[in-house]
Amino acid sequence: MKKRRKNKSCLNCGELLNQKHNYCPNCGQENTNHQVSLGLLMREVTSNFLSLDSRFAHTFKPFLIQPGKITNAFIEGKRVYYANPIRWYLVISIFHFFFMAKMFEPTVKDKKQRGFGGDTELSEAKFDSLYNLPDTAHTGWPLSEPRQKMVTHLIETTNLDAEGIIDSLNIKSESWANEFVVNKIVKINQETTASINEYLLRQIPLIIFFILPVYAFLLKLFFWRKGLYITHLIHSIHLHSFLFFLLGWTWVFSLLIEDFEDYGIFISMILTFIYAVISFKKVYGIKIRWSIFRASMIGFLYTFAVSFALLIGVLISLALI
- Tens of pLDDT along 25-83? 787 777 776 554 556 555 555 555 554 567 888 899 999 999 999 999 988 888 778 88
Q: Please classify residue 128 by burial: count the beta carbons closer than 10 Å to its beta carbon, then call 0-12 exposed, 13-18 middle and 19+ buried.
A: exposed
Can you tell me the mean pLDDT for 265-279?
Answer: 95
Can you tell me the mean pLDDT for 263-281?
Answer: 95
Q: Which of 13, 1, 18, 11 is nearest to 34 (CA)?
A: 11
> What is the share, in percent, of the chain residues with pLDDT greater than 70?
68
Can you tell me the mean pLDDT for 192-199?
Answer: 64
CA distance 187 to 211: 28
- For residues 313 and 305, the model is more confident at 305
Can you tell me the mean pLDDT for 261-286?
Answer: 94
- For residues 219 and 22, the model is more confident at 219
Residue 134's pLDDT band, with cuts at 50, 70 and 90, is: low
- For residues 104 and 51, the model is more confident at 104
pLDDT at 116 over 60: no
Q: Please classify residue 76 by burial: count the beta carbons closer than 10 Å to its beta carbon, then call 0-12 exposed, 13-18 middle and 19+ buried.
A: exposed
Return the pLDDT at 51: 47
Residue 275's pLDDT band, with cuts at 50, 70 and 90, is: very high
pLDDT at 85 over 80: yes
CA distance 104 to 201: 9
Can you tell me the mean pLDDT for 181-199?
Answer: 67
Question: How many other CB atoms are there within 10 angstroms of residue 59's CB atom?
Answer: 23
Question: How many other CB atoms are there within 10 angstroms of residue 158's CB atom?
Answer: 11
Residue 279's pLDDT band, with cuts at 50, 70 and 90, is: very high
Residue 300's pLDDT band, with cuts at 50, 70 and 90, is: very high
Q: State the Cα torsion 119-122-125-127 to the nearest 10°.
A: 70
* C-alpha to C-alpha distances, 215 to 36, 41, 69, 207, 230, nearest whole angstrom: 44, 39, 19, 13, 12
- For residues 267 and 124, the model is more confident at 267
Please give the DSSP secondary-structure letter assigned to residue 135.
Answer: G
Mean pLDDT of the chain: 77
Question: How many other CB atoms are there within 10 angstroms of residue 195's CB atom?
Answer: 17
- Collapsing DSSP to helix, strand or coil, 252 comes out as helix
Which pTM was predicted? 0.64
Cis peptide before 213 (omega within 30 of 0): no
Can you tell me the mean pLDDT for 176-193?
Answer: 68
9, β-bridge pairs: 16
Q: Tell me which of 12-26, 81-95, 174-188, 220-234 is least confident.
A: 174-188
Return the pLDDT at 251: 92
pLDDT 10s digits, 239-261: 999 999 999 999 999 999 988 98
Return the pLDDT at 1: 44
- For residues 295 and 207, the model is more confident at 295
Question: How many other CB atoms are there within 10 angstroms of residue 138's CB atom?
Answer: 14
